């Protein structure tokens, strides 16, 4: 066992919190953007009846194209925080926290 092995193992085990945060934020944001715009394109008398309830948590969100942009920003922020939290918790339990 050389002196480099423990640091290599730590580097492999450690998650990049910022990368997890950005990827989770983009995943949620793109998902909400696509879901909203699919409903807008589909149309109908009651467009996005359930998705409209997100306006309770995301002020300014509507089931419209412009609302999908507002929702994109909100979902990215929530996803970023969630991904950062996942990275922090994983690193803490893996024993490689800063």
SS3 per residue for 16-38 = CHHHHHHHHHHHHHHHHHHHHHH
Q: Are the C-beta atoms of residues 86 and 26 closer than 8 Å to each other?
A: no
Measure the CA–CA gap between 93 and 68, rounded to whole angstroms. Answer: 36
What confidence score (pLDDT) does residue 16 get? 87
Higher pLDDT, 95 or 72: 72
- Indicate whether 3 pLDDT > 60: no
Q: Are the C-beta atoms of residues 80 and 21 closer than 8 Å to each other?
A: yes
Please report, for the chain, the start and end positions of each structural domain, with discontinuous segments joined by +.
23-94
Confidence band, pLDDT 50/70/90 cuts, at residue 74: very high
Q: What burial class does residue 61 get, using C-beta atoms within 10 Å of its C-beta: 0-12 exposed, 13-18 middle, 19+ buried?
A: buried
Helices 17-42, 65-94: axis angle to 10 degrees equals: 150
Confidence band, pLDDT 50/70/90 cuts, at residue 4: low
Judged by average pLDDT, the poorest of 2-16, 34-48, 54-68, 81-95 is 2-16
What confidence score (pLDDT) does residue 97 get? 59
What confidence score (pLDDT) does residue 43 get? 87
* The two structure tokens encoding residue 19: 């990368």
pTM higher than 0.75: yes
């Amino acid at each position: 066992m050389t002196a480099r092995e423990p640091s290599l193992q730590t580097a492999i085990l450690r998650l990049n919190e910022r990368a997890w945060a950005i990827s989770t934020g983009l995943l949620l944001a793109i998902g909400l953007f696509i879901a909203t715009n699919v409903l807008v394109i589909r149309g109908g008398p009651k467009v996005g009846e359930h998705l409209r309830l997100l306006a309770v948590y995301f002020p300014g969100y509507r089931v419209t194209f412009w609302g999908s942009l507002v929702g994109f920003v909100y979902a990215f922020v929530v996803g970023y925080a969630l991904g950062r939290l996942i990275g922090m918790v994983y690193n803490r339990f893996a024993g490689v926290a800063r």
